[in-house]
Structure 1
Amino acid sequence: MKLLLLRNFVFTILQSGTVVGLIPFLIVEPKLNDMLTQQLKISHYLGMLIFTLGFFMMLICIRSFAIDGKGTLSPADPTKRLVIKGLYKFSRNPMYIGVLTILMGETIFFKSYQLLIYLLLIFIAFNIFIILVEEPRLRRDFGKEYLDYCKKVERWG
């Protein structure tokens, strides 16, 4: 179990950390000093709230992958069991929704059109990956169980 938690931590830093941390930082970095010296406004608090919601969604999903799925969020180390409990009762992709929510919070906090464009590109990339890679793998790995799940729960909830 400790090794599984460590693998989840590493993949979270490498994958999610890059998507919601490193790349957004590189996008806003030229303006960061000016932005962070401003007084906080309602939009900043709203951005922080949305970011926090997305962050907790992501953590809940990572926990579900480890505990219920016996795997990680990474396609390189996928779950051994189909995860259909918790947030996965409402959406087949709450992990992606959590990541997109984090990016939305960052976009609002920094009032950045560049981050908004990045958010839209990530949403498109997620859809392509889900449809072309993830869903075929889940059908292959979990068969009827996954097909039944798809009948009950929508892709984006």
Structure 2
Amino acid sequence: MIAVIAKSILHNIGVLLVSLLVAYLGAYADSLLGIASFASVVARIAGCSLLALGFFVRTWAAVHFYQHGLRVVSLRPQAVLITSGPYRFSRNPLYLGGNVFMFFGAALLLGSVTALAITALHLPLIDRFIRREEVQLEQEFGEAFVNYAKRTRRWL
């Protein structure tokens, strides 16, 4: 179990670094465009809180994936439908933790308007990707996925 947790943490350090890089590039773009930073103590506290929450949610979700012998990043449909742990609350805790909480958190931490815009603009693309994945999951797991989708929200 310790190896699974360590693997999950290491995997999500990469996601954390990517979210910070996007926010940094957004802040750099802000400076080139003359957009003022909205950095403040409140924004930084909110940003750090969202980063921590996102890291926790993603790590918890990754632990469940690795416990079932699945890969977090896979181009092929998964062989197991996970409905426990964070998957009881959201059908997509990996996306929620990373693409929402961590990316918004990093943007708030650095006070970047551009990073906030990039994060907000990419969410419809992620949602479209998720809907495509859900079609595959329904084909793979049938009624089990349909019942799961009825009782568990896509995001929150």
Q: Is the shorter-chain TM-score for this pair beyond 0.5, marking a shared fold?
A: yes
Query: Any stretches of 5+ residues in structure 1 without a counterpart?
Result: 32-38
Judged with a 3 Å threshold, the aligned counterparts in structure 2 of structure 1 residues 154 and 116 are, in CA distance, closer, same or farther, namely: same
Maintained 8 Å contact 2:93/2:155: yes
2: CA distance, partners of 1:24 / 1:116? 8
- State yes or no: 1:155 paired with 2:122: no
Q: Which has the higher contact order (CA 8 A, sep 6+)?
A: 2
- State yes or no: 1:124 paired with 2:124: yes
Q: TM-score, normalised by structure 2?
A: 0.77
> 1:146 aligns to what?
145
Maintained 8 Å contact 1:50/1:101: yes
Deviation string, structure 1 residues 96-127 (Cα, Å, up to 9, x no partner): 11111111111211111101111112211111
> 1:108 aligns to what?
108
Maintained 8 Å contact 2:51/2:105: yes
Query: Any stretches of 5+ residues in structure 2 without a counterpart?
Result: 32-38
Maintained 8 Å contact 1:72/1:78: no
Judged with a 3 Å threshold, the aligned counterparts in structure 2 of structure 1 residues 56 and 8 are, in CA distance, closer, same or farther, namely: closer
Judged with a 3 Å threshold, the aligned counterparts in structure 2 of structure 1 residues 106 and 9 are, in CA distance, closer, same or farther, namely: closer
CA RMSD of aligned residues (A): 3.0
2: CA distance, partners of 1:74 / 1:11? 12
Maintained 8 Å contact 1:71/1:78: no
1: CA distance, partners of 2:54 / 2:12? 17
> 2:36 aligns to what?
none
> 1:93 aligns to what?
92
After superposition, where does 1:1-150 map in structure 2 within 5 Å?
Answer: 13=14, 16=15, 19-29=18-28, 41-68=41-68, 70-76=69-75, 78-99=77-98, 100-131=100-131, 133-150=132-149
Q: TM-score, normalised by structure 1?
A: 0.76
1: CA distance, partners of 2:40 / 2:112? 15
Aligned length: 145
Maintained 8 Å contact 2:23/2:112: no
Matched to 2:42, the amino acid is: I
Which portions of structure 1, spanning 4 or more consecutive aligned residues, are displaced by more than 4 angstroms? Answer: 5-12
Shift of 1:136: 1.2
Maintained 8 Å contact 1:28/1:110: yes
Judged with a 3 Å threshold, the aligned counterparts in structure 2 of structure 1 residues 138 and 151 are, in CA distance, closer, same or farther, namely: same
